[in-house]
Amino acid sequence: SHTAQWMFGCDILEDGTIRGYRQEAYDGRDFIALDKDMKTFTAAVPEAVPTKRKWEEGGVAEGWKNYLEETCVEWLRRYVEYGKAELGRR
């Protein structure tokens, strides 16, 4: 049996800077991670190099960059507002 793990998300820092990340692991070991600003992937192990090449050629990094900087941030702001509204009711 094998395990694949994905982690992605976005942060809005105090100064308004947006940070986004996406990384994957396989069987508990880092496998590949997105370099959002460079629109490339970093292979953590040699086995990830074919995936890196395929994803970079297919524009996967650009899609994730857009998601992390637009959609993810939009939803994060929405959830922050929901939280403020809920706390205001207590």
Q: How confident is the model at residue 88 (pLDDT cuts 50, 70, 90)?
A: confident
**Cβ distance 68 to 21 under 8 Å?**
yes
For position 86, what pLDDT does the model report? 86
Instruction: Tell me the average pLDDT across 42-57.
Output: 98
- CA-based angle 52:44:8, to the nearest 5? 75
For position 64, what pLDDT does the model report? 97
Instruction: Tell me the average pLDDT across 32-60.
Output: 97
Instruction: Tell me the average pLDDT across 70-85.
Output: 94
Asked if pLDDT for residue 66 goes beyond 80, the answer is yes
Question: pTM of this prediction?
Answer: 0.83
* Domains detected in the chain: 4-88 (3.30.500.10)
Three-state SS at 37: coil
